[in-house]
């Protein structure tokens, strides 16, 4: 299977704080690659580098053998057309109707007739299981529906890669399972390459082709769901067993507190 994304010795520092520490991994074409870890582990920082929202302190990121860390801003903007991004909070525009949110790229960057953008939005909404919502506003939708609208926007320009930042965050189990099915559907029907950042164990093990376990900016293990479940590293085992004892107590407590506040 061809390599779509290659991360090579990625390091990121914010001042004296080293958030990512010399991490490396590759993602195959049409693979669902999950980056799993607790709060503050560095997992969201990784995908922000892959889309070019952050520049590494050192290291390289290759997409289709192109080093995106060396691209100029104008080149990076063009290159981002390959990539869809599902933000953790959805990031919809409340003042725009659903169809305008989904077709935002075309409204802002092309001269495509509005009627065609409207029809394209309806098509993408149908792909994520939403019908007859195009003329509503985000405030009129449930949290799960808003998340799916965000996903429809992410696939609106047929990206080859989709990055998901905590796609099941704040959703009930049934809606989370629906999002998981959509991720697999996009892989199976459109050949999309996906990187999913999550701390949701059930979701990770149900959708992943491979999983990278990250803790304090270091990747401790990469493997299939079964390989991760049986991995001997104590940090990996502590996380997947949800044990309150051991080296990641602080992160687990923060995550628990965050979940209780939702």
Over residues 154-212, the pLDDT tens digits come to 888 889 999 999 888 777 888 888 889 989 988 998 899 999 999 888 999 999 999 99
Q: Is 63 within a domain?
A: no
Q: Is 214 within a domain?
A: yes
Q: Is 60 within a domain?
A: no
Q: Is 206 within a domain?
A: yes
pLDDT at residue 8, as a whole number: 97
CB contact at 8 A, 52 and 215 = no
pLDDT, one tens digit per residue, over 116-134 is 999 999 999 998 889 999 9
Report how far residue 122's alpha carbon sits from residue 124's, in angstroms, rounded to the nearest whole number: 6
Polymer length in residues for the chain: 262
Q: Is 189 within a domain?
A: yes
Hey, CA dihedral for 221, 226, 231, 234, is it positive or negative?
positive
CA angle 49, 158, 99 (to 5 degrees): 100
- Give the other-Cβ count within 10 Å of 220's Cβ: 18
Query: For residue 95, is pLDDT > 50?
Result: yes
pLDDT, one tens digit per residue, over 242-260 is 765 544 445 545 554 555 5
Total domain count, the chain:
1
Report how far residue 93's alpha carbon sits from residue 37's, in angstroms, rounded to the nearest whole number: 29
The closest alpha carbon to 88, from 147, 148, 47, 36, belongs to 147
Query: For residue 218, is pLDDT > 70?
Result: yes
Q: Is 102 within a domain?
A: yes
From the number of C-beta atoms within 10 Å of its C-beta (0-12, 13-18, 19+), residue 124 rates as buried
Q: Is 59 within a domain?
A: no
**The tokens of 228 are what?**
């991760």
pLDDT at residue 249, as a whole number: 47
Q: Is 80 within a domain?
A: no
Q: What is the span of the domain harbouring residue 153?
A: 31-48+92-261
pLDDT at residue 99, as a whole number: 96
Mean pLDDT of all residues in 14-37: 95
**The tokens of 179 are what?**
């999002």
**The tokens of 14 are what?**
């914010």
User: pTM of this prediction?
Assistant: 0.84
CATH number at residue 194: 3.40.50.300
């Amino acid at each position: 299977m061809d390599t779509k994304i290659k991360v090579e010795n990625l390091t990121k520092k914010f001042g004296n704080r080293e958030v990512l520490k010399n991490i490396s991994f590759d993602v195959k074409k049409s693979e669902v690659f999950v980056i799993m870890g607790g709060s503050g582990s560095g997992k969201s920082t990784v995908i922000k580098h892959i889309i070019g929202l952050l520049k590494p302190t050192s290291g390289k990121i290759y997409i289709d053998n192109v080093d995106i860390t060396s691209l100029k801003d104008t080149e990076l903007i063009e290159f981002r057309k390959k990539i869809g991004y599902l933000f953790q909070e959805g990031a919809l525009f409340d003042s725009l109707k659903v169809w305008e949110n989904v077709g935002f790229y075309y409204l802002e960057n092309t001269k495509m007739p509005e009627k065609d953008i409207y029809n394209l939005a309806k098509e993408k909404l149908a792909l994520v299981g939403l019908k007859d919502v195009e003329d509503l506003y985000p405030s009129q939708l449930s949290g799960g529906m808003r998340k799916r609208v965000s996903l429809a926007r992410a696939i609106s320009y047929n990206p080859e890669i989709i990055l998901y930042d905590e796609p099941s965050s704040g959703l009930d189990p049934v809606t989370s399972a629906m999002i998981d099915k959509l991720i697999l559907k996009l892989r199976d029907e459109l050949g999309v390459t996906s990187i999913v950042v999550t701390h949701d164990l059930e979701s990770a093990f149900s959708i992943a082709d491979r999983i990278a376990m990250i803790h304090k900016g270091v990747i401790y293990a990469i493997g299939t769901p079964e390989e991760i479940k049986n991995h001997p590293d104590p940090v990996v085992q502590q996380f997947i067993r949800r044990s309150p004892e051991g080296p990641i107590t602080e992160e687990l407590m923060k995550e628990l507190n965050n979940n209780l506040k939702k």
